[in-house]
Amino acid sequence: MPIKSGLRQYLFPTRRKESEPAAAYDIWSLTYDQQPDNLMLALDDQLCTSMLEKLGVEDRVIADIGCGTGRHWKKILDRGPAQLLGFDVSAGMLEILRQKYPKAKTWLIHDERLPLEKGSVDLALSTLTIAHIPNLPAALDEWSRIIRPGGDLLITDYHPAALAKGGQRPFRDKGQVIAIRNHVYPLRQVCEEAAKAGLATVSITERKIDDSMRPYYEKAQALPVFRRFRGVPIIYGLHLKKSDAVI
């Protein structure tokens, strides 16, 4: 039995031709929310929830960069933010988000630039997005620009250790496997570029494939893959804070 896309996303050494994120996610948007057995989405939900609970979102203006279909929006909106803004390169993903949240304020973006004033948000959030961005320094500079002094940036993404081993983010559409373009940014590089943008590293969380994830592989009949990749870092969470100094 073929291994499900949720496991294919990072474990296969055979590389497929990669599609640009905007076009690929437009296609994936129709089924993206229908993945109950996607390990990466489950891990991201756990990590993002934990990070948001520690920081708090009440009465804060939040920018969700790479918001997709709004996977994290319910948990954020339930905690009473002052405002939640969504940005994505995929029109298809934003359309699904607006179907779920008709009053959502969203913007389709085409590069790193965001249509926000300097220092206009308290918290920027970017989940499972960094590796899709071709110009990391420019993105971090822009994210830092919109965050107020003393504000926060939360990032989660596929761990570069997994991507460096040949991992990709494919999904199936009508029998075809589509892989999305990724760039490998070691964590040290991310933190160094963030520092140049005025964002200090507060904490780093890394999750490795361990026995708690075994049921996902069992369900996909992929225990040999689980045994092979046990102990490989698969996802990380990063909390960055902007300096209090007004620049």
Sheet holding 169-173, edge to edge: 18-19, 176-180, 169-173
Please name each of the domains of the chain with its CATH number: 5-241 (3.40.50.150)
Alpha-carbon gap, residue 133 to 61, rounded angstroms: 23
Confidence at residue 163, expressed as pLDDT on a 0 to 100 scale:
82
The DSSP code for 3 is P
Query: pLDDT tens track of the chain, all 247 residues?
Result: 344 444 444 444 455 667 789 999 999 999 999 988 888 899 999 999 999 999 999 999 999 999 999 999 999 999 999 999 999 999 999 999 999 999 999 999 999 999 999 999 999 999 999 999 999 999 999 999 999 999 999 999 999 988 876 666 767 777 777 788 889 999 999 999 999 999 999 999 999 989 999 998 888 777 887 887 788 899 999 999 998 755 4
How far apart, in Å, do the first and last CA atoms of the chain sit?
56
Q: Are 30 and 93 in contact (CB under 8 A)?
A: no
Place of tokens 């460096």: 164
Q: What DSSP assignment string belongs to 144-177?
A: HHHEEEEEEEEEEEE-HHHHHTT--EEEEETTEE
Buried b / exposed e along 182-216 (16+ C-beta atoms within 10 A): beebebeebbebbeebbbeeeeeeebebeeebeeb
What is the reported pLDDT for 140? 98
Phi, then psi, of 40 in degrees rounded to 5: -65, -40
